[in-house]
Chain A
């Protein structure tokens, strides 16, 4: 299969690499570049464990071929907070026990982080809809909704 040369900027660092056309963005991030935060959960776009940001938009990286991301800016969960720290959203996940096994968590955090950019004072129902594409088998979602709600509320207070 013909290989393609692509360039990807991940969390601000540019990478040039050669990929097979069928190689998924998720696979490149995990296997080639070592960003193992995004997880493989279904590879059919149903679970959201692989969610990253591509040019500012939260996407499922198992549904993109790496070649489609040529020239794009990718953000992964590793890039959210400085080394050893947590973002306010991540803090709230911890505070509210919004994670157990943590496997869905990087994807969940990326989806929620992206959602919260535009959501002012979301209702619990709206939050549930926003994370509908991210499955969690451990938490039952209640505490994840709490974490997102609390983040929005805190941010509201600070404004």
Chain B
């Protein structure tokens, strides 16, 4: 168990499994990283966006005259101007569901605003100050309408709908699983237990606010856009096919350093579209940077689920069935994955680590007068695992069984993989009990239970919580996703190229936001080609350099991006082998490859280094008959299945019922993400994930007030945890390779966020058992605890 750092003795030096320090760190530590806001072009004008102050209102008039007359203001545009320009003006949803209502999502609002913060008008000015001043002078006359910010109220109350084509505010009504089988399971089972819960909206708060710099070239008809993007190629496609209608081959999207994303920078927002559109109108570079307040109001929020869930079990603890009904708030517009997140990403993980014969889930996706809701770290899987883990805890109470023991009795055994769940997915591999045992042993579970009993005698309340999780990662096999409604593929693309002097350049379509891709991908190449890390350059985040890609989200980079790189590198190696065989006058099959050297088996002095072969490949003087010169491979890797990382997290808390304060004494995480490329980076992902999960459990939680205004709109109202709010973390890993991934990796970007929220809630509720508390909704604040220990007053 490593508590402070990931260095392990005896580690490989550079390839797979080595805890090498990150290549990206030196410039970042010196303040030399180039983020979007750091890019400057001569003659840049600044964009300011006028945003709705109402949750729901008719736009009676948008008077821009005063703003236009101000010094240094170049232009002011409204939704009508964008419409009149003839661009397609549609931010599309990227995932269709049966019966889905898809109201048009325009760049700037026309006629109506449907959430606070909706972009209404845009000012372009010579300076950021002038732009902001002018925004304040735009006179918008609103006719306020009744609104709903809660997904249940939106559907059930009789209110003017968010969109006329969804009179009851239902965007979709989704079902997964076998309802009859679940009814039967519930009828036959010895016991049932249930929980009603809410998962409040979370606001991502990447430390770098979103930003864009657009540079339109009237002469060439080309657009260059720097933006804070997790998927520049997706942005390129959506700008082309959705908002601006420019040919895709005239758009260059550059995502330089990106300061965190966590989902919020996947999406195509009105903001970068209007930035680009304004540059096209004015023929000047235009720059926009969100203020933190704009970030709270417009970065897609996450979660917002209201759920009733039930579980049926036999007296021995065998789970027979699970039934879930959820209202999911989608916000006022459908962001790209808003429909996939609460449907397929959620319902398909409800089996958790357990063999559950019957599962049924219904999700009502509701339009609400709020900021659009979409994937935030853990997306869908976090909500689903939370539900099943809360159910298991509640059931353990009902059965008077230890919660770890109940879990153990239902875990899918290792021999059952690949395992098809009743929630329509096939888990690739797993050793669930092993990871749980490592976690329980590390934390000293048995002794803790004893200590808990002793402390209770003294009137102190220790809580031990655990959660098991499975995550569907590695988004996604294109065919499967397509059948389910995806409007984009799930492959990843790489180019692995030996340069003529022996260095390797790797171009890949994922896009880093802090994960350390340049380092981990280089390790993969070093492993496959036997070159040193220094000789490998990994390039991401520029659509003009990297022809194709899908980006970084859904814990996909290591498995799908890494898969594309590994396959490309292997093909490069095979071509090199052919050249070596030719020049060494041997059979290709007789060549052994190690440390970058092709050797004739049994004649060790006859060999060629792969870098020497690269030179030969470009020289082209002496290649096998019919072989083209060059040593470069383009690979598209479309995974055959999702990967399914898993693990067990345990938290130990002490709760003070007098003050309601919660102290996390220990936090132990055991993650299995398959093969590990760089343990240091895996550990870092786990740490950050835990922080966001603890944040959700105890501190965060976006809320609207009775006037439809976001009540948590600043950093002092929505608590992004700071250093004293989090404990030290104790982490470990087990390794169960993915059988279908070229590297055996599963991905780890979201795991810990998925695990940490149910773990901490489990621990607090466990501490409060003597007060008959079975469940508390997140965030569990001191006030929540204080009330709960007083019977909920």
Contact at A102–B259, with CB atoms within 8 Å? Answer: yes
A152 within 8 A of B: no
In this complex, the member of B33, B207, B720 whose beta carbon has the largest number of chain A beta carbons within 10 angstroms is B207
The answer on a CB contact under 8 Å between A103 and B716 is no
**From residue 273 to 322 of chain B, which have CB atoms closer than 8 A to chain A?**
289, 291-292
Separation in Å of the B125 CB from the closest CB of chain A?
A: 14
CB neighbours (8 Å) of A96 from chain B are: 4-5
Q: Check A86 for interface membership: any CB of B closer than 8 A.
A: yes
Write out the residue numbers on chain B whose beta carbons fall within 8 Å of the beta carbon of A39.
35, 37, 207-208, 259
Q: Is A102 touching B24 in the complex (CB atoms < 8 A)?
A: yes
Asked whether B29 is an interface residue with its Cβ less than 8 Å from the other chain, the reply is yes
Chain B CB within 10 A, most for which of A97, A105, A127, A137: A137
Central interface residue in A76, A97, A99, A143, by most chain B CB within 10 Å:
A97
Q: Name, among A46, A86, A102, A144, the residue most crowded by chain B CB atoms within 10 Å (CB to CB).
A: A102
Q: Distance (Å) between the CB of B299 and the closest chain A CB?
A: 12
**CA distance in complex: A35, B35 (Å):** 13
- Known pairs A46-B714, A47-B292, A90-B30; A135 contacts B25 (CB<8 A): no
Assess the B5–A136 pair: CB atoms within 8 A. no
B705 contacts the other chain (CB 8 A)? no
Contact B29 A94 (CB under 8 A): yes
Cross-chain contact A35 with B31 (CB below 8 angstroms): yes
Tell me, rounded to whole Å, the shortest Cβ–Cβ distance linking A152 to chain B. Answer: 14
B425-449 CB contact bits vs A (8 Å, 1 = yes)?
Answer: 0000000000000000000000000
CA distance A106 to B31 in the complex (A): 6
Q: How far is the CA of A81 from the CA of B258 in the complex (A)?
A: 24
Among B176-184, B578-586, B686-694, which stretch is in contact with chain A? Answer: B686-694
Q: B38 within 8 Å of A by Cβ? A: yes
Instruction: Select which of A37, A100, A129 is within 8 A of B32 by beta carbon.
Output: A37
Cβ contact within 8 Å between B259 and A94: no
- Complex CA gap A81/B37 in Å reads 24
Q: Is the CB of A43 within 8 A of B291?
A: yes
Give the residues from 27 to 70 in chain A that come closer than 8 angstroms, CB to CB, to chain B. 27, 30-31, 35-44, 46-47, 49
Q: Is there an interface contact between A101 and B714, defined as CB atoms closer than 8 Å?
A: no
Q: Are B688 and A139 in contact (CB under 8 A)?
A: yes
The verdict on B545 contacting chain A, using a C-beta distance below 8 Å, is no
Cβ–Cβ < 8 Å partners of B289 in chain A: 40
A102 and B257 form a contact (CB under 8 A): yes
Tell whether, in the assembled complex, residue A135 and residue B30 are in contact, meaning their CB atoms are under 8 Å apart: no
Check A95 for interface membership: any CB of B closer than 8 A. Answer: yes
Q: Nearest Cβ in chain A — how far from B172, in angstroms? A: 31
Q: Are B25 and A46 in contact (CB under 8 A)?
A: no
Shortest Cβ gap from A148 to chain B (Å): 10
We find that the number of chain A residues with CB closer than 8 angstroms to chain B is 62
The answer to whether A132 has its CB under 8 Å from any CB of chain B is: yes
Indicate whether A100 sits within 8 Å of B514 (C-beta atoms), given known contacts A42-B715, A94-B22, A139-B687: yes
**Bound CA span A81–B31, Å:** 11
Complex contact A105–B28 (CB within 8 A):
yes
Chain A residues with CB under 8 Å of B6's CB are 97
Select which of A37, A42, A101, A143 is within 8 A of B260 by beta carbon: A101
A46: chain B residues at CB < 8 Å are 292, 714-716
Q: Does A119 contact B (CB under 8 A)?
A: no
Structural contact, B29 and A142, CB atoms closer than 8 A? no
What CA separation (Å) do A124 and B258 show in the bound complex? Answer: 29
Contacting residues, chain B, for A132 (C-beta < 8 A): 722-724
The answer to the question of B513 belonging to the interface, with a C-beta cut-off of 8 Å to chain A, is yes
| B30 and A141 contact, CB distance less than 8 A | no
- Asked if residues A36 and B31 are in contact (CB atoms below 8 Å), the reply is yes
Chain A residues lying within 8 Å of B720, measured Cβ to Cβ, are 47, 135, 137
Q: In the complex, what distance in Å separates the CA atom of A129 from the CA atom of B723?
A: 7
- Cα A9 to Cα B714 in complex, Å, equals 33
Complex: chain A residue closest to B211, CB-CB: A40
Q: Does A77 contact B (CB under 8 A)?
A: yes
Chain B CB within 10 Å — which of A20, A40, A81 has the most?
A40
User: What mask results when residues 3 to 29 of chain B are scored 1 for a CB within 8 Å of chain A, else 0?
Assistant: 011100000000000000110111011
| B57 in contact (CB, < 8 A) | no
- Residue B29 contacts which of A20, A36, A86, A140 (CB distance < 8 angstroms)? A86
B205 at the interface (CB under 8 A from A): yes
- Interface presence of A73 (CB below 8 A): no
What is the CA–CA distance of A36 and B39 in the complex, to the nearest angstrom?
A: 9
Q: Is the pair A36, B38 in contact by a Cβ cutoff of 8 Å?
A: yes
CB distance from B722 to the nearest CB of A (A): 5
Tell whether B209 is near chain A: CB-to-CB under 8 Å.
Answer: yes
- Partner-B contacts on A (CB < 8 A): 20, 22-23, 27, 30-31, 35-44, 46-47, 49, 76-78, 80-81, 84, 86, 90, 93-97, 99-106, 109, 124-125, 127-129, 131-146
- The 3 residue pairs across chains A and B that have the minimum distance between CB atoms: A37-B31, A101-B514, A103-B259
User: A103-B207, A143-B683 known; 12 other A-B pairs, CB under 8 Å?
Assistant: A39-B207, A41-B209, A102-B33, A103-B259, A125-B724, A133-B722, A138-B260, A138-B684, A139-B688, A140-B687, A141-B691, A141-B726
Q: What are 22 contact pairs spanning A and B, CB under 8 A?
A: A31-B40, A39-B207, A41-B209, A42-B292, A47-B715, A78-B31, A90-B29, A93-B29, A94-B29, A96-B5, A101-B259, A102-B28, A129-B723, A131-B723, A132-B724, A138-B684, A139-B688, A140-B687, A140-B690, A143-B5, A145-B728, A146-B5
